[in-house]
Amino acid sequence: MKFAVVVFPGSNCDVDMYHAIADELGEEVEYVWHDEDDLDRFDAILLPGGFSYGDYLRSGAIARFSKVMAAVKQAADAGKPVLGVCNGFQILLEAGLLPGAMRRNQGLKFICRPVQLTVENHETMFTSAYEKGEVITIPIAHGEGNYYCDEQTLERLVKNRQIVFRYHGENPNGSLADIAGIVNERGNVLGMMPHPERAVDALLGSADGLKLFRSIVNYWRETHVVTA
């Protein structure tokens, strides 16, 4: 399986994402600059965290116009796994690949620490390696992680089981309904504020994020079985 790590001006978690795939997962991965217009050679697309274009206007508001985003949308439409973490989640929201919007943290401060999450839906291509209701520890690092959507959108998210992760025990940023991560209706685009790529080895304090990447690979292998 071959992963693409999309790099925007201001990305700063791209190396962490690359390490998680290459060194911990053992799969093929390549950095892709933001002006790339073809992602057909990749099986999964990863949008890392950081401060794309300095977070000017709004987080992700400029990056959504990058040339590569047309190819990201094409990959999503083709059913390929697309993962946006932190700033990557914000970009997916701005691009309309996921519903809702991101606001400043409720306390108006940047937060950087491990948090606990509940796996709300373990039946997605991103979470099949987890147990239903499993509580995991993943770090956050953001100033604008306060997810918001209107009442009708929230009802759809709940009805369609699109809420994949919720903050457990404590909501660090005021996010609506404790939402930490959601998928699109098709289930192949995941946006989440916590950083699973920073939780892939016990030496980092948690290896709980590695299951997310293993889930993606497991899904790919199950759907790309070559029969004689």
The pLDDT tens digits of the residues spanning 61-109 come to: 899 999 999 999 999 999 999 999 999 999 999 999 999 999 999 999 9
The average pLDDT across 54-64 equals 88
The average pLDDT across 220-227 equals 78
Tell me the percentage of the chain whose pLDDT exceeds 70. 98
The overall pTM is greater than 0.75: yes
Tell me the percentage of the chain whose pLDDT exceeds 90. 92
Buried b (16+ CB within 10 A) or exposed e, 105-137: beeeeebeebbbbbbbbbebbbbbbbeeebebb
Q: Is 178 left (phi over 0), alpha (psi -120 to 50) or beta?
A: left
The average pLDDT across 140-153 equals 96
Q: Per-domain residue ranges for the chain?
A: 2-224
Which CATH architecture is the domain 2-224 placed in?
A: 3-Layer(aba) Sandwich (3.40)
- Which residues are annotated as catalytic? 86, 195, 197
What value does the mean pLDDT of the chain take?
A: 95
pLDDT of residue 152: 97
The average pLDDT across 135-149 equals 97
- Measured CA distances, 62 to 79, 91, 95, 150, 216 (Å): 25, 8, 10, 23, 28
- Measured CA distances, 33 to 36, 66, 81, 105, 197 (Å): 6, 10, 19, 29, 19
pLDDT of residue 228: 43
Task: Give the pLDDT band (50/70/90) at residue 224.
Answer: confident
| The pLDDT of residue 225 is above 70 | no
Q: What does the pLDDT look like over 4-46, one tens digit per residue?
A: 999 999 999 999 999 999 999 999 999 999 999 999 999 999 9
pLDDT of residue 132: 92
| The pLDDT of residue 226 is above 60 | no
Task: Give the pLDDT band (50/70/90) at residue 146.
Answer: very high
* Angle, CA of 15, 212 and 150, to the nearest 5°: 95
Token pair of 131 as six digits: 């147990």
